[in-house]
Every structure is written in structure tokens, then in C-alpha cells.
Amino acid sequence: MRITTVATRILIILTSIALIPSSSVAQQRWTVQEESHERGTATSLVTIDELVEEALAQNPEIRAARREVDMKRARIPQAGALPDPTVNFGQMNVGNLIPFTTLGEEGFSEIYVGFSQEFPFYGKRGLRERIAASEAEAEWWTYEFTRRRVIAQVKVAYYDLFYWRKALAIVRKNIDLLEKFADIAEALYKVGKGNQADVLRAQTEISRLHDRRAVIEQRASLAEARLNALLNRPPNRPIGQLAPVEKAPLRYALQELTRMAVQNFPLLKQQQRLIDRSEFSVRLAKKEMYPDFGIVFAYHNRGGIKDYWTIGGTAKIPLYFWRKQRPAIAEAAAGLAAARQRYESALALLFFRLKDQYLAATTADRLTTLYGETVLPQETLTLEATVASYQVGKLEFLSVLDSLMKLLNDELSYWENLVNYQKALAQIELFVGTRLTR
């Protein structure tokens, strides 16, 4: 039985109680209205894929994360470059402070220009470049995680908005039904077949549903604003009519999802690259125990006296290694141990979060099936029987109201569990990197 036909069936019962001769006409009017509504919105439905594509293009968090990757990648050639050379220039005088006054007259009076270039010990530049490359790759996986997280957030916001709009439609439908109940109760009271308490009870339930509708409208507005924020739109921009949510099958068991998550979860990839970075840092710290060398070249002009050149070299000796290089090695080793522990922590958290969402999905799946195939059909039949018994005076009007409100809550529970199921799948997609939702 389709849930959307519940209201139609109840309306037929209500019209029969009120002794309306053209009940079939009322049913046709209700059906025509629903079909007309569906035709009016079918051409302007907003799909979840369209919103995801827009978020990928417009979301500022994704764009910022992508620029962070570009920034890290630009550091790679810088890390492997040689130190900047140093240029030296000046003049020397003998016996006179004023420049150039004894040039060509004294052997030590001269103009000189030269440069020096430092060359780090073999392997240091390559290690620095590999450290920068590992950091850039880790940043790329951070970007990938941000991208997947925003996609999951868009889907969750879409499902939330869909549910609150569906809940609003259900509550409005039930307000209409209760108003018809109130009219019928009042009509029966006027002809001596009912009592005033029935009318008051119906009006009380209508007031409660109006209060409930106000809360749902607020939640729907917040869900729409959340979705607009993820799409980088103004908060009050209308989203449009959403495409229906179809229940997707859960194609994988928890064990297979866990294997996929270990292979594809971006934050694990990020931690692996940070471990690589720390390993290279340890190797570089050990390399710092070796000296760096340099060359020096200078040209000396002595005016009319013969010119001469200076060619030499430099060596940077790690003389204070017990205070600099050895602590640096210990620092890098501690960083490597910390990176490995962070990986283990991320792995344990991944297992927990994946199982949490998997259990949420399987539980919501069972409840959706239960409500859709068992509870709602049974509750609908119960309401029909209750209304029929009330018609012949075997039950009080309060039983009819109670049955109607139970059906309302069960219908809301059906859609809530369906949406919770889809939301759990969207969160699992973040971990496994495979599309599970429709």
C-alpha cells in the first residue's frame, strides 16, 4: 500500500460518516489535486547531484583547501634549491681614508668584486624536497577529505530538508483531515448523535498540530539555510522543489566497507604522508651532522698595477653538535613516533565512526521496512475500523482521534527512518570513497 493513499482512504471514510452522497467525487477531486501537484513540480525538480556539483564549484571551504594544496606544492622547488649566492664588493686604500685616492699607487689599494656559493652536503637538498613533497601530498588528501565532507554535508542537508518538507505536508494534510473530523463531530452534535466534548477534542488536536507545524516550518527553514550556506548562496534563496528520495540498497557488509575505508579514507592517506615526512626529517637531521661546503671567487683591480683573483672555499662545521644536531635528531625521532601514533588513532576512530554509521543505516533500514510494510498498513486498517465503530456508536470519538494521531506519527517515523538511512549512507561514502546513495 502506498503511503500517499492513506489520506485519500480516510477522506472517503469521513465523507461516508458525514453522509455526503458524492464520496467518489470527493476522492476523484483529492486524486486530481495530487496528480496536478506532481505534474506542476515534475519539470522543476532539484536533484541532489545538481546541488553537489554546485557545491564542488562554489563552496568556499573546498576552494580554500585547493589553494592550500597549490601553496604547499609551490614550496617543493624552493626546498630543493641551492642557498642564494653572496656577492661581495668594495675598495681598499693605503694611507688615505678617501676612496680611490691611492688606487694604482699602492699595491694594496684596489677595487674588488666577488661572490660565494654554499653547497649543502650531498643528500640534504633532496631530503628537504621530499619533505616538502610529502607535506604537499598530505595537504592534497586534506583537500580530498574536505571535498568528500562537503559532499556528505550537502546530501545530509538535502535529506533533512526533504524530510521537514515531507513532514510539513503530512501535518498539513492531517490538519485538513482533523478539520473535517471537527466539522463532522459538530454536525453530529447538532443532530443529537454526538456531544460537545468531541468537537472540543478535535479543535484541541487541531491547535496542537498547528503548533507542530510551526516548529516543522522553522526546521525546514533552517535546513534550507544550511543547504544554501554549503552552496555559498544567500541564506534566504529558495531551493526549489526537491526530487523524491529513493531508498538505495546497502550493497556491502561491514567487513568489506572496513577494507574499503582503510584503502580510501583521505585522513589515513594524509597521516601516511605525514609519517613519510617525519621519516625524511629524521634522515635530514642525521645529515646535518655533516659539514656544508662553499666556493669563493673574487676579482681585484689595482689600477695600473696588475690585477689578481681570489679563488677559495668555505666549510660550515657542526662544531656544537651536542647542543644543535643531536637534539635535532631526537626531535625528529619524537615527531616520527608521534606521527605513527596519530595514524593509529585515526585508524581506530575510523573503525568506530564507520561501525556507528553502519549500525545507524541497518537499524534505519529495518525500521523503514517495518513501518512501510507492517505498521502503516496495520495502523491504516485500525483507523478505518475505529471510524467504522465510531459511526455505529461502539467507540468514542477519542478513540478515533487517538488512532488518527498514531497514524500521523507512524507516517512521520517512516520518512524519518528513510532519511536517516540515506544520511548514514552519505556519511559512509565519506569513509569508503564509493557512492552508495542515489
For the chain, what is the total number of helices (H) and then of strands (E)? 11, 4
- CA–CA separation, 376 vs 7, rounded Å? 12
**Residue in 104, 107, 112, 110 with CA at minimum distance from that of residue 92:** 110
- CA–CA separation, 278 vs 129, rounded Å? 13
CB 164 within 8 A of CB 216: yes
Cell of 18: 458525514
Average pLDDT on 26-35 reads 34
Cell of 158: 538535502
Cell of 415: 520518512
Average pLDDT on 148-153 reads 96
Q: Is the pLDDT of residue 128 over 90?
A: yes
- CA–CA separation, 335 vs 204, rounded Å? 66
State residue 6's pLDDT score. Answer: 46
Angle CA(188)–CA(176)–CA(159) in degrees, nearest 5?
150
**Count of CB atoms within 10 A of residue 408's CB?**
23
Q: What are phi and psi of 88, to 5 degrees?
A: -115, 140
pLDDT digit string, tens, across residues 173-222? 988 888 887 787 777 777 776 677 777 888 888 898 999 999 999 999 99
In the three-class reduction of DSSP (H, G, I as helix; E, B as strand; rest coil), residue 113 is classed as strand
In the three-class reduction of DSSP (H, G, I as helix; E, B as strand; rest coil), residue 112 is classed as strand
In the chain, the amino acid numbered 278 is S
Q: Is the pLDDT of residue 135 over 90?
A: yes
CB 1 within 8 A of CB 380: yes
- What are the extents of the domains in the chain? 3-82+120-288+324-432, 84-119+291-318
**Residue in 174, 337, 325, 351 with CA at minimum distance from that of residue 254:** 351
- CA–CA separation, 123 vs 285, rounded Å? 11
Q: Please name the residues in contact with 250: beta carbons below 8 A apart, sequence gap of 6 or more.
A: 361, 362, 365, 425, 436
Longest dimension (CA), the chain: 136
User: Where do we find the cell 683573483?
Assistant: 309
Q: Please name the residues in contact with 413: beta carbons below 8 A apart, sequence gap of 6 or more.
A: 367, 371, 375
**Whole-number Cα distances in Å, 188 to 374, 387, 389, 391:** 33, 14, 15, 10
CA dihedral 143, 145, 147, 153 (to 10 degrees): -150
Average pLDDT on 77-99 reads 89
CB 357 within 8 A of CB 421: no
State residue 193's pLDDT score. Answer: 66
User: Where do we find the cell 673574487?
Assistant: 298
- CA–CA separation, 248 vs 421, rounded Å? 9
Q: Is the pLDDT of residue 43 over 80?
A: no
pLDDT digit string, tens, across residues 269-315? 999 999 999 999 999 999 999 999 999 999 998 888 888 899 999 99
State residue 235's pLDDT score. Answer: 86
Cell of 413: 517515523
Q: State the DSSP code for 46.
A: B
**Residue in 160, 136, 156, 352 with CA at minimum distance from that of residue 265:** 352
Q: Is 347 exposed, middle or buried (0-12, 13-18, 19+ CB in 10 A)?
A: middle
Q: How far from the centroid of its chain's Cα atoms is residue 193's Cα?
A: 59
- What percent of the chain has pLDDT above 70? 89
CATH of domain 3-82+120-288+324-432: 1.20.1600.10
State residue 424's pLDDT score. Answer: 96
Q: Is the pLDDT of residue 10 over 80?
A: no
